[in-house]
């Protein structure tokens, strides 16, 4: 059974061999020679692309990756402001941060770089956060007292008309927010508070 030809990244040795073979034979012959002697599967288009790219190169080694210009735009002061923004609003997305950076500092930063720097600042994303009702401290005391009075009077609620209330809320809360696992102050909340009286359309059924 014949050995399976392998596709691989061209090493410096293979690159030098291709250049040497190309001086003496056609692209098709170079392809066949590599398959026979080195068990390398490379297309003629791949060979052409390598030869064309090599004309402008001074070395057979891999081209070093350049640093993107955007990386120099975000200075420590910008990162500090970003950290403050997210701390004040944990639901702030990368696209909104991009808009705020443009509006505040006239910086045009990519969303991918903003997400990277946000992770470097220690922020971790969490989705599908459950919500709980936001109740004022005053109402907490009033509700507690009402329950205690009902227990003390042994109220059986036989004279009460119960109402089944359904409502369609016209606002939405974000399901993505960010927190710092290393922070002693900001912890990953189990539930997110939301206003009780958000704009909604109530529907009532009495039984």
Q: What is the mean pLDDT of residues 111-119?
A: 91
Please state, as a whole number, how many other Cβ atoms lie within 10 Å of the Cβ of residue 102. Answer: 12
Residue 1, pLDDT score: 44
Structure token pair of residue 144: 């507690």
Pairing of strands 163-169, 176-179: unpaired
b/e code 27-53 from CB counts within 10 Å (16+ = b) = beebbebbeeebebebeeeebeebeee
Structure token pair of residue 202: 């109530």
Cβ neighbours of residue 169 under 8 Å, at least 6 residues apart?
198, 199, 200
Residue 207, pLDDT score: 46
Find the radius of gyration of the CA atoms of the chain: 33
pLDDT at 72 over 80: no
- Concatenate the DSSP letters of all residues of 29-93 into one string: HHHHHHHHHS-B---HHHHHHHHHHHTT-S-SSPPPPPPPTHHHH--HHHHHHHHHHHHH-TT--
Q: What is the mean pLDDT of residues 203-207?
A: 55
pLDDT at 44 over 90: no
Cβ neighbours of residue 18 under 8 Å, at least 6 residues apart?
10, 30, 34, 47, 50, 51
Nearest to 177 by CA among 117, 99, 107, 118: 118
Cβ neighbours of residue 17 under 8 Å, at least 6 residues apart?
34, 38
Residue 177, pLDDT score: 74
Residue 99, pLDDT score: 94
* 79-112 pLDDT per residue, tens: 999 999 998 888 888 999 999 999 999 888 889 9
* 182-194 pLDDT per residue, tens: 665 555 555 666 6
Q: What is the mean pLDDT of residues 139-160?
A: 90
Q: Give this prediction's pTM.
A: 0.42
CB 10 within 8 A of CB 41: no
pLDDT at 46 over 70: yes
Can you tell me the distance from the alpha carbon of 16 to that of 20, in angstroms, rounded to the nearest whole number? 6
Give the confidence band of 159 by pLDDT, cuts at 50, 70, 90: confident
Q: What is the mean pLDDT of residues 68-76?
A: 71
For the chain, the average pLDDT equals 78
Cβ neighbours of residue 33 under 8 Å, at least 6 residues apart?
21, 25
């Amino acid at each position: 059974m014949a050995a399976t030809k392998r596709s691989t990244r061209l090493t410096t040795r293979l690159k030098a061999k291709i250049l040497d073979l190309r001086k003496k034979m056609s692209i098709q012959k170079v392809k066949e020679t590599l398959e026979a002697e080195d068990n390398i599967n490379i297309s003629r288009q791949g060979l052409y692309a390598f030869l064309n790219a090599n004309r402008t190169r001074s070395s057979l080694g891999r081209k070093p990756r350049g640093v993107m210009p955007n990386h120099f735009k975000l200075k420590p002061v910008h990162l500090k402001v970003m950290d403050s923004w997210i701390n004040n609003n944990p639901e702030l997305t990368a696209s909104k941060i991009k808009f705020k950076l443009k509006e505040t500092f006239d910086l045009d930063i990519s969303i991918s770089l903003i997400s990277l720097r946000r992770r470097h600042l220690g922020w971790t994303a969490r989705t599908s956060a459950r919500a709980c009702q936001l109740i004022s401290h005053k109402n907490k005391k009033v509700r507690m007292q009402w329950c205690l009075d009902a227990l003390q009077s042994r109220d059986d609620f036989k004279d009460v008309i119960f109402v089944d209330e359904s409502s369609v809320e016209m606002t939405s809360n974000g399901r993505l927010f960010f927190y710092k696992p290393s922070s002693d102050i900001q912890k990953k909340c189990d539930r997110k508070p939301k206003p009780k009286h958000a704009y909604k359309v109530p529907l009532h059924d009495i039984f």
